[in-house]
Amino acid sequence: VLSGTDIFSEYYILHSNKQTALCHLSGSRDNEPERASSEYHMALYPSSSENVYETSARLLFMSVKWAKNLPVFSNLPFRDQVILLEEAWSELFLLCAIQWSLPLDSCPLLSLPDLCPGMQGKTSYTGLDLRLLQEAFSRFKALAVDPTEFACLKAIVLFKPGLKDPEQVENLQDQSQVMLGQHIRSHYPSQPARFGKLLLLLPSLRFVNSERIELLFFHRTIGNTPMEKLLCDMFKN
């Protein structure tokens, strides 16, 4: 069980002198009181749908902040940073939700009883979406993915080639995979197939597309605001 302050810490991937290393950095705790584990868990995952939406928004903010605080990410052209976030936000959010154990089975928002007008027709596949998400969450939990592995997986889904500086982005993704392999060999020597199993988990993050993720977790908090604008605002602030 994570302590109340651990959620504000993350493993960031740093790039220096053509080598990749992991460094444990503390996130911002200025506005957060110290809390016991059980108290924090209750605060992070309350039962009311209103607070579940707020929790989802908070997890998304954590995902954007994680990317923004990566020196190798901030060194990319600004437009590339925005595009990478727009393409990877739902996968980053889901990885964050899995890492901090967002309880899908008890999330009242997923029944979507209070959709705003004009969105009712988009709920026909909600049950299927839920099953797919629960399946993806279960796969990650079954492997007991550790914080370093989560950081590497986030970097792998974030750094997608094909932008203004594709060679650099591809190199960052390659290094993320190399570092994941090194970590597994060092910490899980008896699990030679673990690296492949972790990479095979990533497609499950796309079982439910980003539009559906937006509908399920954010329709109450952002309304008609385009997700792209929200991400850009989060990134700039």
Closest of 92, 35, 20, 40 to residue 62, by C-alpha: 92
Task: Check residue 7 and give its pLDDT.
Answer: 26
- 48-236: CATH topology: Retinoid X Receptor (1.10.565)
Which residue would you say has higher pLDDT here, 95 or 76? Answer: 95
Q: Where are the domains of the chain?
A: 48-236
Residue 110: which pLDDT band, with cuts at 50, 70 and 90? low
Task: Check residue 237 and give its pLDDT.
Answer: 73
Task: Check residue 123 and give its pLDDT.
Answer: 52
Select the highest-mean-pLDDT range: 49-53, 101-105, 210-214: 210-214
Q: State pTM to two decimals.
A: 0.76
pLDDT in tens, 46-81: 455 556 778 888 999 999 999 999 988 988 888 888
Task: Check residue 111 and give its pLDDT.
Answer: 53
The mean-pLDDT minimum among 37-51, 194-208, 212-226 falls in 37-51
